[in-house]
Structure 1
Amino acid sequence: MTIATDRLILREWRDQDRVPFMEMSADPDVMLYLRALPTRQACDQWIDFQIKHFAEHGFGFWVVEDRASGAFLGATGLFKIFFDAPFTPAVEIGWRLARAAWGQGIATEAARASLAFGFDQLNLDEIIAYAAPANASSQNVMRKLGMIRDAASDFDHPRVEPDSPLRRQVMYRLPREAWANGPR
């Protein structure tokens, strides 16, 4: 499955994506608010999990590729949450982009295409997103997408160490009705 936007292609993973994904994941600025993927093996496992998620659920994180040059820019997409929390079951949207792709609206453009797929093709009732409180950039993307901050649903991520600054997460939600009536 491939999704095209004005500037981007969102597509499934290929073997040649493994090295650029690993290089992106080695950038401490890219990974500042994300759980570490410190080895090639960890990066490959992350990609393999995305491929499996697509096979089992029909969606996952796509590769984000520059439409004009074919350059690897990162990953974005939808993901079924596999941990227990008051807001689960749920589908989240997320993104991680190479530093060279920052500040150009690429995260917003790719995420908007992912939201359209989630609501229009998967018929989801709601899509959520969450981020560490200090991750102002991702929260800004969430607001640009029309997502609504839900402070009552902030949570401690059960898969993050208790003493990590990434443990606490702030919640944003986008119900189908807000997507249908909001700007695209």
Structure 2
Amino acid sequence: MAPSSPSSSSHNWVYDIFPSFSGKDVRVTFLSHFLKELDRRLISVFEDNEIERSQPIGPKLQWAISDSRIAVVVFSKNYASSSWCLDELVEIVKCKEEFGQIVMPIFYGLDPSHVRQQSEEFGKIFENTIKGKTDDEIQLWRKALTDVANIAGYHSLNWDNEAKVIEEITNDILGKLNLTPSKDIF
């Protein structure tokens, strides 16, 4: 018998969306508008307000990632400056492989190839972050960055209207959740 692929239908999801992002780059700009649109469309999102980020990724966050149907990864210039974000990304890739979690990358203010290859400014920031880390940790982070950056996503350098792209991403999410996009766009 051939090995079966991960099945998302047998997994009990708690959240529709787990957002992974660098707060200093997008929390009060793109992300705030995106989350507002998801809320308006009644899409449930894990919010990290209560989690202290000074500690390693903990069981509560691992649970939230594994219990989210879709992981939306917002890559930005400083995403790789955070070992926390990189650990989240490793967990997201694990959930994609084990549970069939859908991963949607958004490249905000940078080229996807810079994430894929850890090059340019993104690569310099990543090199700073990996100083003093174990080879195993570095390899997991590199693989996760490359794997997720190889997934077709949204690239902000190609946008001429952020609001329309947020609407498009939200409609894409609704489709992946097998829900009908709302026609009452204001």
User: With structure 2 as the length reference, what TM-score do the two structures score?
Assistant: 0.30
Q: Which has the higher helix share?
A: 2
Q: Which has the higher strand share?
A: 1
- If asked which structure has higher relative contact order (CA below 8 Å, sep 6+), I would say 2
Larger radius of gyration: 2
User: With structure 1 as the length reference, what TM-score do the two structures score?
Assistant: 0.31
